[in-house]
Structure 1
């Protein structure tokens, strides 16, 4: 339904429902990959942070006087005022997803896992909870004006499931992954962004007809294959703009555009700002510690911050 045809009373109702059940409020989130041997210095934060490290490695998390080796995939909960730091794996890049959030009127006692004496590290190697966290990231990227409305509900459910993990309650099952052919097509796109890509070529690689591939993309991703290619190219360009020093022309070529002017038009149409403006607005020296990362399973780009309430 077009925005101008929405019932304002319905929108107001959603806002009042959100206030009535006191959902957590998402402030900041992202999916970053840190270079081997880098670190996050000692700090404390005014809000809560939920993190997930999908691979066990040599990363060390220090909270208070305790040091915890993240040798297996784990969730981490950092509470307001807790002094903590990270030393990332010295040999391999380290990926982590994170969500900063406020509780506001939501009582922490409703989820004991958030209380000061709750666990800091909760091992988890399944897919269901990670899919929930990734879905929140995808909403922030693809539908940011619905982040608080939809993402906060998912975050509350995710925290509840993590609490269940912390008291060793059984999980309720796993979500279904994307069809293998769709995953294969996404991987093929990500590995070939610098080269010409066609729906017909992708369909041939995965053993489907172009029509079936297009229907599957629309059903599972909400985008056509051509729209997905453009989105992945521009998302990769955003990464290159933020943690590299290549020119706009070089970046355009690297993501498959031989015409710099055409790339700039597509970038502005997609991001509502020029590539130069994007770099000036979002560049931060800390991006120098980020490593390039490709994940065909994700519906959002890694190494990019998404903002909720400030």
Structure 2
């Protein structure tokens, strides 16, 4: 996720000022509010249609759009009269006058996930027994996750189609034997072209991308199962345990056994 300020968010310096599922009245436009210094407003569209000012233009917003307003921005300022907009509105206060540096426009397209989040956060906010700071942590973290996930999806969408197809195949079939030549043939390119394109767009070779996916799969198994290293190696696409150990040490700076011990730690039995 690209932000104007990469510093991590310090939740102890944030305050949840308000949270509501706002329904704009039909036949009238809302009055846009300028966000003051040290404040942020998050508007997650849940229904209808609205518009928000972006520079000198009005940008249409529809269900799934996530608008993270920083100081100086205006909130949604126009609404479709017959189908007025509805949104989850979350008001925050922080110690950063310039804002948290989150991209203003993003999306949360998964309808069921989004609706469940809206419902549970509204219920929690109006439940006096629910800890507000815990709700702040949850709501902001979940929204940041959606922003980050959407940003990743956008980056993937900008890649040439053959690279996207190659990455999809690697993600689903990492355990299968695969050469760069065979992968290139699957996407209709030469091996040299695929290698050059991976370097250009991803900063790594197709082989490196495949090995990274296998390492992630091995990490998951090591942390969640008691499978022998030999079995983990074979199920993750490595020729044998020695190949896994060599690749894992080069990538993670430790052996698979040490990684498993680190992850399980006091939970080991």
Alignment TM-score, normalising by the size of structure 1: 0.43
* Bigger relative CO (Cα 8 Å, ≥ 6 apart): 1
Mark the structure with the bigger radius of gyration: 2
